[in-house]
């Protein structure tokens, strides 16, 4: 967990970003402000990042992207970088390349997403990724990531992870993340602020936990906390009233995905 705050960062929490490690490869989920600093603090490698998956173009999910892309070039990256995200992200990347891309040492390869139901958007030798639409104020997508199992490399059952960024609750979501081993679901608000969640198209702790229960997820992680709530333990306690195996994430937490 690189960042677990929402739009307003805490003094000890950064905006949304996660790093998923699969057999030595790294995949980024969102890239809020300060992500490259958090990568350094967690002793992760810039050159091992295979792809970046952006949920939507609100600033707390992308303001760290330009700095990250520039730093990768300073590290003399030569391998193309895959970036997956909503169609509107394309113009943002075009601006970066036009204004800051002189001498960029690697190719940016952008895959626009406009799915109205789960759709495969990325695959390599290690993972397959489906994007699915979320309910937010701008085009926004979640990602379901399935481990690729080779006959010799990985003689175990594939593991799965789902990343549900900013979203109001809706019935289809539980179906789209059904059976995942580990589910991340934003819980911006505690139940006390359910009116705010509805107003801004976000989820509460109870919304996230209900989705995990209906989906039959193995475990639930909540995050993307509103700065209105100072005691993070409330997010975990409320979620556990519906889904017992819930953890309220902190920046720097590491979760092993197991079946």
Question: Which residues are known to be catalytic?
Answer: 60
The number of beta carbons lying within 10 Å of the beta carbon of residue 207 is 27
Beta bridge partners of 164: 185
Containing H/E element for 70? helix 65-74
Alpha helix (H) residue ranges in 169-219: 172-176, 194-200, 205-215
Alpha helix (H) residue ranges in 118-186: 172-176
Query: Is the Cβ–Cβ distance between 20 and 43 less than 8 Å?
Result: no
* Angle at CA of residue 144, ends 138 and 150, nearest 5°: 150
What is d(CA 249, CA 189) in angstroms, rounded to the nearest whole number?
Answer: 14
What is d(CA 69, CA 75) in angstroms, rounded to the nearest whole number?
Answer: 10
Query: Is the Cβ–Cβ distance between 234 and 225 less than 8 Å?
Result: no
Beta bridge partners of 81: 108
Lookup: tokens for 55 = 């949920």
Order of strands across the sheet that contains 25-31 = 17-22, 25-31, 49-53, 81-86, 108-113
C-alpha closest to that of 221 among 170, 177, 168, 158 = 177
């Amino acid at each position: 967990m690189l960042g677990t705050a929402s739009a307003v960062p805490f003094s000890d929490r950064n905006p949304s970003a996660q790093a998923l490690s699969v057999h030595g490869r790294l995949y980024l989920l969102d890239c809020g402000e300060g992500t490259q600093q958090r990568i350094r603090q967690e002793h992760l490698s810039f050159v091992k990042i295979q792809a970046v998956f952006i949920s939507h173009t609100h600033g707390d999910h992308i303001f760290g992207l330009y700095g990250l892309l520039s730093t990768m070039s300073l590290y003399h990256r030569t391998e193309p970088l895959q970036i997956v995200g909503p169609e509107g992200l394309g113009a943002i990347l075009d601006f970066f390349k036009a204004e800051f891309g002189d001498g960029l040492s690697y190719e940016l390869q952008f895959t626009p997403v406009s799915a109205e139901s789960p759709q495969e958007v990325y695959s390599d030798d290690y993972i397959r990724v489906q994007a699915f639409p979320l309910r937010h104020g701008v085009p926004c997508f979640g990602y379901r990531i399935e481990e690729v199992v080779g006959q010799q490399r990985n003689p175990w059952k594939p593991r799965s992870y789902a990343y549900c960024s900013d979203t109001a609750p809706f019935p289809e979501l539980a179906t789209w993340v059904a059976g995942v081993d580990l589910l991340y679901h934003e819980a911006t608000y505690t139940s006390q602020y359910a009116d705010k969640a509805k107003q801004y198209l976000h989820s509460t702790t109870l919304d996230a936990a209900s989705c995990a229960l209906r989906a039959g997820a193995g475990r639930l992680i909540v995050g993307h906390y509103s700065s209105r709530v100072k005691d993070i333990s409330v997010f975990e306690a409320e979620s556990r009233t519906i889904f017992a195996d819930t953890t309220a994430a902190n920046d720097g937490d590491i979760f092993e995905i197991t079946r």
